[in-house]
Amino acid sequence: MGRQGRFLSALVVMLLTILPVSGLVLWSEPGRAAGGAVWPQNAVPDKGPEQCEPLRGVEIEGPGMLLVGQTGWYTSTYTPPTATLPVTQTWDNGTLGPVAAYSWTLPGSYTLTVTATNPCSMVSSLFSVEVCQEPVSVTVGGPEFVDVGEEWVYTATVWPVTASEPLEYRWDNGVVGRSAVYRFTEPGWRWIEVTVTNGCGEAVGEMGVEVCQE
């Protein structure tokens, strides 16, 4: 070893004495550190957490009209289908999942909501439902015994009282409305009939009348 080599060896010894061992790495050849440790020349850098694809929307499908007490089934579909999992779908009645059942005890307009979430997004959708109460029965009120040639008023009453409006009353004498006037020209037994309809059903009421000749 020449003078230059001895100088370099002395310099290395001095550096090892001054610097912490953990803070000094020497390479004797490309890719290999002193002491035999191998440096990963082809190491792939850390790219961080995997990219999340957000939800763009969610849609609800199901019946837009139900009868009171009827069960309707509703389905939600989120987009895009490639959105990052897990995707959680929560309905406003507490149901979890893509399908939910709804039922109402009173007529009216209702709105149901579903919310879809994944690790990086949240979307919601609304759906309107009209709940209708059909007329179940009709009672005709008025005199049971009438005289020939006289006018008599008869009125229809629908049950239940919560039947959805508008209600249409049509009598067998052609009158439209809740009440109708009847006048009989001959004695005998007569039937009065009224049909009540709304947007979700109909009911028929009848009443027998005895027409008397004075």
- Same domain for 196 and 149, yes or no, is yes
Q: Residue 131: is its pLDDT beyond 90?
A: yes
The rounded Cα 182 to chain-centroid distance in angstroms is: 50
Quote the pLDDT of residue 5. Answer: 53
- Same domain for 128 and 141, yes or no, is no
Quote the pLDDT of residue 214. Answer: 78
Domain termination residue (choose one: 94, 112, 132): 132
Domain termination residue (choose one: 78, 97, 132): 132
Quote the pLDDT of residue 105. Answer: 97
Q: Round to whole Å and give the CA distance between 162 and 132.
A: 9
| Contact predicate 135/167, CB 8 Å | yes
Q: Residue 54: is its pLDDT beyond 70?
A: yes
| Contact predicate 194/181, CB 8 Å | no
Q: Round to whole Å and give the CA distance between 41 and 59.
A: 51
Domain encompassing residue 185: 137-212
pTM for this prediction: 0.69
Min mean pLDDT across 17-31, 39-53, 56-70, 152-166 is at 17-31
Going by C-beta distance under 8 Å and a sequence separation of 6 or more, which residues neighbour residue 55?
Answer: 78, 79, 80, 83, 87, 116, 117, 118, 121, 122, 123
> What confidence tens digit (pLDDT) does each residue in 154-179 have?
999 999 999 999 999 999 999 999 99
For residue 189, give the CATH number of its domain. 2.60.40.10
Structure tokens at 100: 């939910």
List phi, psi (to 5°) of 7: -65, -45
Q: Round to whole Å and give the CA distance between 145 and 147.
A: 7
Q: How sure is the predictor about 152, in pLDDT bands with cuts at 50, 70 and 90?
A: very high
- Same domain for 127 and 145, yes or no, is no
Quote the pLDDT of residue 50. Answer: 77
| DSSP letters spanning 125-194 | EEEEEEEE----EEEEES-SEEETT-EEEEEEEEESTTPPSPPEEEETTS-BSSEEEEE-SS-EEEEEEE
Q: Round to whole Å and give the CA distance between 114 and 129.
A: 14
Quote the pLDDT of residue 51. Answer: 93
Q: For residue 194, what are the β-bridge partners? A: 171, 205
State the chain's mean pLDDT as an integer.
86
Look at 49 and 144; give whichever has higher pLDDT.
Answer: 144
Domain termination residue (choose one: 97, 132, 167): 132
Q: Residue 67: is its pLDDT beyond 50?
A: yes
Q: Is residue 27 part of a domain?
A: no
